[in-house]
Amino acid sequence: MCLIELDSNNQPYYANPFGAPARPSETVQWKSISGKFSITIRDSLQFFSAKTGSAIRNIEKIIVDANVNNGVSETYTIISNLSTGTEIHYEVYCITNSDQGDAPPRIIITPAV
C-alpha cells in the first residue's frame, strides 16, 4: 500500500512524500493530516485499473478531508503493466488555504518484487 499524506501546513507542495514510490498492482490512498484537498489525476485510466465503490473516470477528482472518513480517500489500484520509471502526476488544490501546490507531486513506479 502506498499512502500519501496531505497537510495544509506542508507548503508549498502539500504532499508527503512529494515523489511516492509504488509498484504495479499496488494500491494507493491519500490521507489528509490537516485540511481539505481536491486531487486531480489526468488520464487516470492509463494508471489505475480500479477503485473501490465505483468505476474510475478519465479525469478523476478526489476530495480528501481530515474531518471525513478519518481523512482517508478511497483505494486505487495501479495497473499491473506500467513500466518502471513511469510517473503519475497529480494536482493538489488545498481547499482549506485556497491554494494550488507549487508543482504537481507524483507517484513513481518502481520494480515489482
pLDDT at 85: 96
Q: What is the pLDDT of residues 7-30, one digit of tens each?
A: 999 989 999 999 999 999 999 999
Unique residue bearing C-alpha cell 502539500: 14
Query: What fold does the segment set 2-109 form as a domain?
Result: Immunoglobulin-like (2.60.40)
CA–CA distance, 10 with 61 (Å, rounded to integer) = 21
Beta strands in the chain (DSSP E): 2-7, 15-16, 19-22, 27-34, 36-41, 48-51, 60-65, 76-78, 87-89, 91-94, 99-100, 106-109
Tell me which residues of the chain have a pLDDT lower than 70: 50-56
pLDDT at 51: 62
